[in-house]
Amino acid sequence: MKELATDTWILAGRHMKHIARVPEKLIGVTIAPVVMVLIFGYLFGSAMSVPGGNYREYIMAGIFTQVMFSAVGTSAAGVADDLKNGLVDRFRSLPMSRYAVLLGRTVSDMAMTALSCLVMAVVGLLIGWKAHHGVVKTAAGFGLLLLLGFTMCWIGALIGLVVRSPEAVNTISSLMVLPFALLSNSFVPLDGLPRWMQIIGEWNPISSVVSACRDLWGNPSTVVSDALPAQHPLAAGCLILCCLLIVVAPMAARAYHRAAAR
């Protein structure tokens, strides 16, 4: 266990060095989210209204989750790159922990999403978003977002290992992620959708995370459904994400062994 932590730390350090060498990588995790906040906040914010508050407060939780999604592409591309240039072979010939290569990747990518959250939160505060319920609940909301980000990193790692081609990885990951990202209550309330889409939207973990964050931060919410996850978004979000992780992480570990074994 201690060895796993050490190896993960060493490999996460490697990814941090990459970022120092290629500062452009930071644009994706800082500038892009800021642009999203401004576009959604001002463009849609001035055209839409939600019951019980302003749209900018409503939209922030949604934007945070969208940015967590971008981790899928980042992790997938990183894993595919390592596979392609033979580094995975090198790592696998070392007496290191089985999970460390993937953990190092996902942990450092999650650290990047945390940086995104920080930047977005600052911009959000500037345009009028606020968390109203004190430090603990605010932190809990961000904790849930990071759990989402971590899950997305693992899904990305799995995609990267299965797809293998760094060129194809981006398209495929956005294609797989887009329906989940949009079919949720991130930007619009689910009430107006056809019933079957509503059900998907309600059980989509993104909706739970968004609702939970809105509740924790005291932002306007639009939950009118009696679906179980909509009534208990925090519990539902944690549970669904943990279940996803428990399924996806071992799948990624298996894919790692199989991908390298060619």
Partner 1 sequence: MDVAIEAEGLSKRYGDNEVLKGVDLTVPAGSVLGLLGPNGAGKTTTVRILATLLPPDGGRATVAGHDIVKAPLDVRRRIGLAGQYAAVDERLTGRENLVLIGRLYRLGRANAKRRAEELLERFDLTGAADRETKTYSGGMRRRLDLAASLLADPGVLFLDEPTTGLDLTSRMTLWSMVREQVDAGVTVLLTTQYLEEADQLADRVAVIDKGMLIADGTPDELKRKVGGERLEVSLADPATVPEVTGLLERVAVGEPVVGDQGRSVSVPVGSGIDSIADAATALRGKGIEVTDFAMRRPSMDDVFLALTGRSSAGESDEDEGRTAA
Of the pair 95, 192, the CB lying nearest partner 1 is at: 95
**49 touches partner 1 (CB under 8 A):** no
Torsion of CA 249, 254, 259, 260, to 10 degrees: 100
With CB under 8 A as the contact rule, the residue among 5, 16, 18, 231 that binds partner 1 is: 18
Is residue 254 at the binding interface for partner 1, with CB under 8 A as the rule?
Answer: no
Q: Is 130 in the site for partner 1 (CB under 8 A)?
A: no
- Residue 95 found at the interface with partner 1 (CB under 8 A): yes
Among 5, 10, 16, 228, binds partner 1 (CB under 8 A): 10
Q: How far apart are CA 64 and CA 76, in angstroms?
A: 20
- By CB under 8 A, the residues from 169 to 208 that bind partner 1 are none
For 50, phi then psi, to 5°, come to -120, 150
Contacting partner 1 (CB under 8 A), which of 51, 52, 86, 128?
86
Q: What is the DSSP string of 21-87?
A: H-THHHHHHHHHHHHHHHIIIIIITTT--BTTB-HHHHHHHHHHHHHHHHHHHHHHHHHHHHHHTTH
We find the least distance from the C-beta atom of residue 5 to partner 1, in angstroms, to be: 13
In whole angstroms, the minimum distance from the beta carbon of 32 to partner 1 comes to: 21
In the Cβ-directed half-sphere of 8, how many Cα atoms lie within 13 Å?
A: 17
Is 17 an interacting residue with respect to partner 1 (CB under 8 A)? Answer: yes
Do 109 and 29 meet the contact criterion of CB atoms below 8 Å apart?
no
Please state, in angstroms and rounded to a whole number, the distance separating the CA atoms of residues 82 and 34.
Answer: 29
In the complex, least distance from residue 82 CB atom to partner 1, rounded to whole angstroms = 8
> Does 223 interact with partner 1 (rule: CB under 8 A)?
no
Please give the residue ranges that form the binding site for partner 1 (CB under 8 A): 3, 7, 10-11, 14, 17-18, 21-22, 85-87, 89-96, 260-262
